[in-house]
């Protein structure tokens, strides 16, 4: 090999092996084999070489081109392996580490109780219905046989909203059952959990609280159906198969007859299902014929029963909470203590058969 080719060879191989990353490698490649690279220029000059030297020089240049190509390929493989090793080292991770857990909240006891009630009545074929917080006077009162002059209106401490006619914040969830009866033909089985509002605020009353009412309408429905249904519910909800339940005559404008439902407890210890005292827990009754007629149902053909309960109250009784106010204060300590895991659903209806 001629001296000039030997010089080019050494300089080129040195520059290829000096390339310390893929960018420098590419620059070295272009400098030799690119359009105006050193070897490209020498190959172009071959045409001007005297014919007797051309063959030998051409063979030498071709050999150089192959050698540079091989050197470039070897360098590229080395650089890529180094780059991959560096990346693997930099991005090293331990896939056996436990995951960082996202903070998990808790289900509010009000929501939990509503879910439990829906699960128990759901197993008895009741659907859950919802409706608006703001109601007409007719849906909240008149349809339920509570006329304008009726003293029950004063009892309800109603929030009236401005307007003509004035509307109300619903004082119970009954207007949702009224809407259900107007929209659906019997048979009807619904429960209606939700917010209710009364202008009443002290240690045991909040102006916003929660109720769950229920309604069943069908042919040949009797007080016996009401009693069996509510006894099953109370025993499943409190998880006490032998819970004593007592029905006591009462009065509501929207039911006839009406009954208060009591459960057995020990007033001194607060224990439910034990002792000789009675605790009022539900209101109930056979739906008043006038209410059925107001809601487009013929009372000679269909009968039914209805009931209502306070969610906060039955929650406090079941979980031994002494005070109503923390329900609405969003105190994380209280919520963590009394809240429920979002991963453990209410499956209390199993208690009905079990
Ligand atoms: C209670 C008493 C009760 C009802 C609610 C009702 C609804 C319709 C027709 C007839 Cl649409 N009745 N609801 C009946 C009896 C009692 O609630 O102490 N609630 C906390």
- Structure-block tokens of residue 268: 């001194």
Cα(281) to centroid of ligand 1, in Å? Answer: 13
Q: What is the pLDDT of residue 160?
A: 92
What integer is the mean pLDDT of 188-209?
Answer: 92
263 near 278, Cβ under 8 Å?
A: yes
Cα(321) to centroid of ligand 1, in Å? Answer: 25
Name the residue with the closest Cα to ligand 1, atom 4: 307
Of 243, 211, 217, nearest to 230 by C-alpha is 243
Position in ligand 1 atom list of the atom nearest CA 143: 11
Cα(285) to centroid of ligand 1, in Å? Answer: 7
Residue 149 has pLDDT above 90, yes or no: no
Cα(244) to centroid of ligand 1, in Å? Answer: 22
C-alpha distance across the termini of the chain, in Å: 98
Q: Where are the beta strands (DSSP E) in 51-147?
A: 127-128, 134-136
Which ranges in 91-146 belong to alpha helices (H)?
109-123, 137-140
pLDDT for 86-138, tens place per residue?
Answer: 999 999 988 899 988 888 899 999 999 999 999 999 999 999 999 999 999 99
Name the residue with the closest Cα to ligand 1, atom 19: 308
Burial class (CB in 10 A: 0-12, 13-18, 19+), 97: exposed
Q: What is the pLDDT of residue 54?
A: 87
Name the residue with the closest Cα to ligand 1, atom 18: 283
* Residue among 283, 286, 317 to mutate when testing ligand 1 (max atoms within 8 A of CB): 283
Of 142, 138, 158, nearest to 150 by C-alpha is 142
Name every residue whose Cβ is closer than 8 Å to that of residue 229 and which is 6 or more positions away in sequence: 124, 216, 305
Q: What is the pLDDT of residue 272?
A: 95
Residue 221 has pLDDT above 70, yes or no: yes
Cα(214) to centroid of ligand 1, in Å? Answer: 8
- Going by pLDDT thresholds of 50, 70 and 90, the confidence category of residue 31 is very high
Name the residue with the closest Cα to ligand 1, atom 6: 306
What integer is the mean pLDDT of 199-227?
Answer: 94
What integer is the mean pLDDT of 285-306?
Answer: 98
Highest mean pLDDT among 30-39, 81-90, 145-154, 180-189: 180-189
Q: What is the pLDDT of residue 156?
A: 66
280 near 287, Cβ under 8 Å?
A: no
Cα(248) to centroid of ligand 1, in Å? Answer: 15
Q: What is the pLDDT of residue 350?
A: 53
Position in ligand 1 atom list of the atom nearest CA 291: 9
What integer is the mean pLDDT of 154-173?
Answer: 88
Q: What is the pLDDT of residue 347?
A: 66
Lowest pLDDT segment from 1-5, 58-62, 69-73, 113-117 = 1-5
- Going by pLDDT thresholds of 50, 70 and 90, the confidence category of residue 236 is very high
Strands laid side by side in the 167-169 sheet: 134-136, 167-169, 160-161
Ligand 1 site residues, Cβ closer than 6 angstroms: 144, 174, 177-178, 211, 213, 215, 252, 254-255, 283-285, 287, 291, 306-310
Name the residue with the closest Cα to ligand 1, atom 8: 174
302 near 217, Cβ under 8 Å?
A: yes
Name every residue whose Cβ is closer than 8 Å to that of residue 21 and which is 6 or more positions away in sequence: 79, 83
Q: What is the pLDDT of residue 354?
A: 39
Position in ligand 1 atom list of the atom nearest CA 211: 20
- 64 C-beta neighbours (distance < 10 Å), count: 22
The conformation of residue 100, written as its DSSP 8-state character, comes to: P
Cα(207) to centroid of ligand 1, in Å? Answer: 19
């Amino acid at each position: 090999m001629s001296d000039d080719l030997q010089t080019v060879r050494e300089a080129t191989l040195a520059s290829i092996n000096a390339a310390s990353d893929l960018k420098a490698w590419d620059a070295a490649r272009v400098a030799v084999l690119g359009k105006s690279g050193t070897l490209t220029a020498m190959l172009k000059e071959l045409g001007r070489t005297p014919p007797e030297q051309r063959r030998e020089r051409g063979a030498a240049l071709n050999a150089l081109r192959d050698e540079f190509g091989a050197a470039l390929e070897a360098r590229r493989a080395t650089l890529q392996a180094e780059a991959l090793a560096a990346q693997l080292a930099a991005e090293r991770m331990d896939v056996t580490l436990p995951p960082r857990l996202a903070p998990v909240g808790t289900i509010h006891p009000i929501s939990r109780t509503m879910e439990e009630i829906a699960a128990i009545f759901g197993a008895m074929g009741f659907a859950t219905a919802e409706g608006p917080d703001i109601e007409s006077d007719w849906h909240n009162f008149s349809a339920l046989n509570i006329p304008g002059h009726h003293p029950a209106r004063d009892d309800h401490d109603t929030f009236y909203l401005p307007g003509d006619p004035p509307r109300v914040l619903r004082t119970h969830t009954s207007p949702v059952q009224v809407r259900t009866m107007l929209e659906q033909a019997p048979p009807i089985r619904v429960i209606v959990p939700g917010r209710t509002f009364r202008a009443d605020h002290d240690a045991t009353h909040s102006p916003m609280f929660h109720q769950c009412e229920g309604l069943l309408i069908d042919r040949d429905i009797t007080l016996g159906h009401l009693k069996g249904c509510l006894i099953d519910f109370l025993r499943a909800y409190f998880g006490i198969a032998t819970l004593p339940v007592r029905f006591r005559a009462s009065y509501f404008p929207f039911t006839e007859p009406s009954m208060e439902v009591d459960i057995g407890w020990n007033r001194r210890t607060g224990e439910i299902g034990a002792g000789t005292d009675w605790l009022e827990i539900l209101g109930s009754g056979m739906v008043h014929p006038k209410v059925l007629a107001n809601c487009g149902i013929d009372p000679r053909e269909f009968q039914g029963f209805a009931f209502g309960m306070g969610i906060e109250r039955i929650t406090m009784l079941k979980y031994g909470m002494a005070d109503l106010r923390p329900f609405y204060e969003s105190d994380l300590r209280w919520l963590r203590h009394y809240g429920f895991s979002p991963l453990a659903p209410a499956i209390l209806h199993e208690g009905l058969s079990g």
